[in-house]
Chain A
């Protein structure tokens, strides 16, 4: 999948079932939505990503 496809993505139709409606997506194009998401994700990500990723070691399970 190329990033181009994401730039051109459309907002999907709302689901037809009776599930509670999702919050409305931003009216602006999807670029804006991804960009504002990335700004929020920047605030969440560990500041030293490399150290965090290196330290994330788990034991195997099932």
Chain B
């Protein structure tokens, strides 16, 4: 699993500054100044296929909106060996450009410019706690990038925001990715997930001041994102945003794997909200892989999922009855409880779950209990309640209503990455929210990849051989070794290979990239 975040961006002294240029300046500053030895490796688009639809077809490139074309194509010289390493013609040298829009980091992440936002796509991790650790590392990397940029004479002071809307009609995404078995029919994914994704904001919502895409009505709602959802299922991510996204681009062996791309979520500052967002969603997908869609969950189908998503987000009392397809009504909490109890029962049958899984289920059930009886007690764990708590405090103290600009400013500055400007950081410093990971873990995750996925091989190659890795993608690392006639591409179609256990010894015993590649080519996979 993993998290990708597009950050809001603003020049502090020039709100009208071009966000595409600012984003490129932020990424360039980190590539040039933030990494030991600089960053040479660029993103390799040759394996991307953003127009492939999980329902079984590809969108014609001519019919695609320009914002859907996230790939470029390169030619490949096929010549496989033991690891499937292939040779690729070295491109003609191009003059070094002034800005860099795309780098791979030693922690296995991709840091780049997506449209008009800087985006951090965290490395692949195997559990929700690690997802939080490398997500927090991303926040820190973005903050450091802006600090490095500000130190360069003539460059702007940039503020970055981990939110998903400007309150004026624009939304930008925080996406989750889950590796799944290809054996599960996509129709079952939709049936299993729709009611879950519509109702999970009771725990995962980041909270938002303003109702409607443009915030045209005063008020508060659970999520940043719900008002921008307009379809039940679809390929788009930038327009007509769907509850279940069908982009079928596994970045892995497509015979075995599917990557479920979840685009409805909010960017979370609260660690418990992020942890449970990834943890509960992956457990629901685990259940789907184990048993298909259970009858109890199939019966939760909503009459109008898009309308229900809006209703859930606008229901601060958590009491709104949602119309089900079979004519019954249930609240979001009741629907979540069916999911949680069904998952808990299935886990019980499987014997002792691992520690993190047990913790996720315990917290999930406990929060659903307390959200029903004493929601204010959840303000240390649930982001929208933490935010609402201080907004309500300010409203009460100052006698102001929801249309007051101070409340909108508080909402925006909640997510400012600069600690001295961040409302969230004030709560964290005061112990008013629960923290799950330590600063030491975050610091380590800035420079190191998770050890138990292929991100380890990618990240370690970047860290050890910054001059020899010419590009990389999620499922390949391309080397440019001095003296070799061609570039050499190491494919990584299996996300569970390339771990420390798998290649740690090889990396330790081969101090240079050339001998590592020879060893890989000579070894059985």
Contact = CB atoms under 8 A, between A and B. Distances in A.
A60 to B, nearest CB: 4
B380 A49 contact: no
Nearest to A17: B359
Contact of A37 (B168, B317, B390, B413): B390
Given A3-B396, A6-B389, A49-B405, A62 B431 contact: no
Contact of A33 (B359, B377, B432): B432
A23 B431 contact: yes
A62 B166 CA distance: 14
A62 B6 contact: yes
Contacts, number: 158
B343 to A, nearest CB: 18
Contact of A46 (B8, B165, B413): B413
Contact of A62 (B175, B408, B434): B175
A61 B423 CA distance: 24
Nearest to B317: A1
**Is chain A's interface secondary structure helix, strand, loop, or mixed overall?**
loop
Contacts of B31: none
B19 interface: yes
Scoring A9, A52, A56 by chain B CB atoms within 10 A of each residue's CB, the highest score goes to A56
Nearest to B438: A20
Contact of B410 (A6, A16, A45, A62): A45
Contact of B168 (A1, A25, A57): A57
Contacts of A37: 390, 393, 426-427, 430, 432
A56 B420 contact: no
Interface in A6-50: 6, 8-10, 12, 15-17, 19-20, 22-26, 33-38, 40-41, 44-46, 49-50
Nearest to B356: A17
Contact of A35 (B15, B172, B397): B397
Nearest to B175: A62
B495 interface: no
B316 A1 contact: yes
Nearest to B18: A59
Contacts of A61: 6, 114-117, 170-173, 238
Interface in B143-171: 165-171
A38 B221 CA distance: 21
A40 B408 contact: no
Given A3-B396, A57-B15, A62-B172, A46 B409 contact: yes
Interface residues of B, number: 68
- Interface bin, chain A: 35 or more
Contacts of B115: 59-62
Nearest to A25: B431
B375 A1 contact: yes
Contacts of A41: 390, 394, 410, 423, 426
B197 to A, nearest CB: 16
B413 A19 contact: no
A31 to B, nearest CB: 9
Given A20-B435, A22-B435, A44-B426, A58 B116 contact: yes
A56 B167 contact: yes
B376 A55 contact: no
A22 B412 contact: no
Contacts of A24: 431
Interface string B165-186: 1111111110100000000000
B175 A49 contact: no
B434 A15 contact: yes
B422 to A, nearest CB: 7
Given A23-B431, A37-B390, A49-B406, A62 B263 contact: yes
B204 interface: no
Given A37-B393, A38-B394, A44-B422, A62 B409 contact: no
Contact of B173 (A3, A38, A55, A62): A62
Interface of B: 6, 8-10, 15, 19-20, 114-117, 165-173, 175, 237-238, 263, 316-317, 355, 359, 362, 370, 374-380, 385, 388-390, 392-397, 405-406, 408-410, 412-413, 420-423, 426-427, 430-436, 438
6 contacts: A3-B393, A12-B370, A17-B359, A49-B405, A61-B6, A61-B115
Given A25-B431, A34-B389, A56-B8, 8 more contacts: A5-B376, A17-B355, A44-B420, A45-B406, A55-B15, A59-B115, A59-B116, A61-B173
